[in-house]
Amino acid sequence: MSLPLEGLSAVVTGAGRGLGRAEALELARLGASVVVNDYGRPGRDGSGESSTGPAEEVATEIRAAGGRAVAHTGDVADFEQARALVDLAVAEFGKLDILVNNAGILRDRMVFSMTEEEWDAVIRVHLKGHFNTTRFASAHWRQRSKAAGGPVYGRIVNTSSEAYLAGSAGQPNYAAAKGGIVGLTTSTALALAKYGVTANVICPRARTRMTEDVFAGQAAPAEGLDPLAPEHVAPLVGYLASPAAARVNGQLLVVHGGMVAVVERPRVQARFDSKQDTFTYDELDALLSPHYARRPEGETFAAAEVLALKRR
**Interior angle at CA 245, CA 241 and CA 251, nearest 5:** 90
Structural element, H or E, at residue 217: none
Alpha-helix runs per DSSP H in the chain:
18-29, 54-64, 79-93, 116-122, 129-148, 162-166, 172-192, 234-240, 281-294
- 298 contact partners, CB below 8 Å, separation of at least 6: none
Of 97, 106, 86, residue with least CA distance to 7: 97
Catalytic residue from among 153, 174, 195, 242: 174
Residues 135 and 240: their CA atoms lie apart, in Å, by: 20
- Contact (CB, 8 A) for 154 and 192: yes
Catalytic residue from among 161, 168, 195, 242: 161
**Does 50 participate in catalysis according to the annotation?**
no
Residues 167 and 152: their CA atoms lie apart, in Å, by: 37
**Does 195 participate in catalysis according to the annotation?**
no
Q: Could you give the C-alpha distances from 13 to 25, 71, 168, 225, in angstroms and in order?
A: 13, 10, 24, 25
DSSP symbols for 183-215: HHHHHHHHHHGGGTEEEEEEEE----STTTTTT
**Does 146 participate in catalysis according to the annotation?**
no
Amino acid at 288: L
Catalytic residue from among 160, 168, 178, 242: 178
Of 307, 312, 179, residue with least CA distance to 254: 307
Per 3-state DSSP, the chain is made up of helix, strand and coil in percentages (nearest 5) of: 40, 15, 45
Catalytically active residues are: 161, 174, 178
